[in-house]
Amino acid sequence: MHGVAEDGNAAIDGADRLVGHVRVLCDRFRALPGIQRPGRHRVNCPGRPPWWTLWLPGLLAGCGGEMSILDAAGSAARQQFWIWWAMLGVAVAVSLGVYALWFYTFRRREPPPRTPREERRIMLRWVLGGGIALPVASIIALLVFAAPTGRGMLPLPDDGAERIEVIAHQWWWEVRYPGEEGERDVVTANRLVMPAGEPVDFRLTSTDVIHAFWIPRLGGKRDMIPGRYSSVRLEADSPGVFGAQCAEYCGAQHTHMLLHVEALERGDYDAWLAERRPPPGPGEGFAEAKEAFGEHCAACHTVGGFAEELVDDDLEHDIRGPDLSDIGSRPTLGAGVLPMEEGAIAYWLQHHQTLKPGNRMPAHDHIDTETLQAIGAWLETLEP
């Protein structure tokens, strides 16, 4: 009986010491200037785990899918994937090490008596080793590990890689395939078609604010900066469809700035490009729709081969909208807001400010529904 009580007391003492230790840490934390948050007394550390840890299982369940960096589909993404795991591994190892040392400080017996000199030597050893040598070694190791990946994503000059320009706008993507000499660019929007199984150099820029180009399953990210070009080289292992998303907060509709990426076999890619060079053209008929388009829309939107005399010159705009030359063949509308299907364009034209509030296209309330439907029906026919 006696022994049990003693063990129990020892355990309680131990627990007391642990709690005391945490208290001291918390008090210090509170005492730090600048960290105090008046009116918030949630710094009582030995409490429950913070609410956000409840989300962790849900987050981990989302590790697959078309936007997952953990489901790499290209060489750059695969290397980034390993860097990600290596960093996670090192971070976990360091945390475990620190916790182990921390617990050790509770469990160890009275330290042997030391002279102040010895104390200082030991302290210095920890500061130099743990505070300087270890971080420097870790950062160098990480650099050695990560530098080849960075290099692999640099577009090396003129080795014949396909070159595609991506221009970010609030909040949509312009994609240009530069033509050979004298040829015109193929221009499309919110859809990126690229050859699979070979490196592709993306030349990136922006017309307004900073955006970022990111195809999670292929690699990235890369900032897109107004007035400057940056580049990234990515490769898709095999044909497929991938999601991409602007990765730099760029305003209200940042979330609705999705890019549909398709990797095609080289032959299919060439055929896809050839079909759009020159652009498909406005087609026959739809006279009223075309007239209304010239009056209300052509100031911002291009349709390849659209009759110049229909364009109302009085409408001057300092913003540009997506090129609509092949809009009927595109998979989505409004940078991923609506799937393209029959009637979708007319629906978008009537409700785009509700679907994507604040987007840069003015509401078309002054145009009657029939006209918008006629324009929508015509635009849906624009495909190669």
Q: Does 259 bind ligand HEC (CB under 6 A)?
A: no
The minimum distance between CB 178 and Cu ion, in angstroms, equals 24
Cβ atoms of residues 225 and 169 within 8 Å: no
- Applying CB under 6 A, among 199, 242, 321, 326 the residue interacting with ligand HEC is 321
User: In the window 299-318, what residues touch ligand HEC (CB under 6 A)?
Assistant: 299-301, 317
| Interface residue with ligand HEC, options 193, 248, 322, 326 (CB under 6 A) | 322
Taking the complex as a whole, the smallest distance from the CB of residue 139 to ligand HEC amounts, in Å, to 40
Minimum Å gap between C-beta 364 and ligand HEC is 5
Residue length of the chain: 384
Give Cβ neighbours of residue 242 (< 8 Å, ≥ 6 apart): 66, 73, 215, 216, 217, 218, 236, 261, 262, 263
Give DSSP secondary structure letters for 117-183. HHHHHHHHHHIIIIIIIHHHHHHHHHHHHHHHHHHHTS--TTS--EEEEEEEETTEEEEEE--STTP
Residue of 30, 78, 203, 254 interacting with Cu ion (CB under 5 A): 254
- Per the listing, tokens 């406005």 go with 282
DSSP 184: P
Please choose which of Cu ion, ligand HEC, none residue 361 contacts, taking the beta carbon within 5 to 8 angstroms, the exact cut-off set by kind. Answer: ligand HEC
**DSSP letter, residue 227:** T
374 binds Cu ion per the rule CB under 5 A: no
> How many chain residues are in contact with ligand HEC, going by CB under 6 A?
32
Between the two ends of the chain, the Cα-to-Cα distance in Å is 91
Query: What are φ and ψ of residue 31, in 5° steps?
Result: -75, -20
Q: Of 34-42, 130-138, 275-283, 342-350, which part binds ligand HEC (CB under 6 A)?
A: 342-350
Q: Residue 162 burial (CB < 10 Å; 0-12/13-18/19+)?
A: middle
Residue 244, interface with ligand HEC (CB under 6 A)?
no
User: How far, in Å, CA of 326 to CA of 343, rounded?
Assistant: 16
- 297 part of the interface to ligand HEC, by CB under 6 A: yes
CB of 272 to ligand HEC, least distance (A): 17
Pairwise CA distance, residues 122 & 114, whole Å: 10
Dihedral sign from CA coordinates of 127, 129, 135, 139: positive
Of 189, 204, 232, 261, the one binding ligand HEC by CB under 6 A: 189
Torsion of CA 57, 59, 64, 69, to 10 degrees: -130
- The nearer residue to Cu ion, 259 or 349, going by C-beta atoms, is 259
359, 374, 380, 382: residue in contact with ligand HEC (rule CB under 6 A):
359
d(CA 225, CA 205): 5
Decide whether 199 or 304 has the Cβ nearer to ligand HEC.
304
Contact between 190 and ligand HEC by CB under 6 A: the answer reads yes
What residue ranges in 29-130 does DSSP mark as E strands? none
Asked if 167 is part of the footprint of Cu ion (rule: CB under 5 A), the reply reads no
Which listed option, Cu ion, ligand HEC, none, makes contact with residue 333 (CB within 5 to 8 Å by class)? Answer: ligand HEC
Of 204, 306, 364, 374, the one binding ligand HEC (CB under 6 A) is: 364
Interface residues with Cu ion (CB under 5 A) are 211, 246, 250, 254
Interface residues with ligand HEC (CB under 6 A) are 171-172, 189-190, 253, 293, 296-297, 299-301, 317, 319, 321-322, 324, 327, 333-335, 345, 348-349, 356, 359-362, 364, 367, 375, 379
